[in-house]
Structure 1
Amino acid sequence: MSATAQTADNPLSEKQRRILDYLQANADEQTYFKSRLIGDELGLSAKEVGTNMTTIAEGDHNIDVEKWGYSSSTTWMVDA
């Protein structure tokens, strides 16, 4: 299965797909991502990003996402 393939049991929404694509495109250069800054890049609120990151973190997308910190915005550690 490719890194961006949807599974039949848990298809990604358009927002989740956009967030996942953003993370995959930037994970080689960056490890930590703030919800607020992802939202700024994608035209989403930090809350929208945080809500959707949980689904991405729980899925099998060839990328590891872990909630890392909460200072001024949730920080996510991403390993591709």
Structure 2
Amino acid sequence: MGLILTLIMGGLIGWIAGMIMGTDIPGGKIGNIIAGLIGASLGGFLLGSWGPSIWGVHILPALIGTILLIAIVSIILNMMHRRR
């Protein structure tokens, strides 16, 4: 049950971060989950564990990490698109 809740939380974090950034995450719902999980790990690594926690995921570091991840991926995709 913990894995399912973690995937749901990753999807929610990815979706919220995409709304804040105003850009779609490539891959749709699966992309949201992947971005949320990687972003949560990145945020936890960079910022530690502080703020409110739901299902073991600290919301603020996860959200900040996911926003950072989306920004980096968007920059890379824009650079690759310009080369064509």
Please give the TM-score of this superposition, normalised by the length of structure 1. 0.27
Larger radius of gyration: 2
- Comparing both structures, which one devotes a greater share of its residues to strand? 1
- Comparing both structures, which one devotes a greater share of its residues to helix? 2
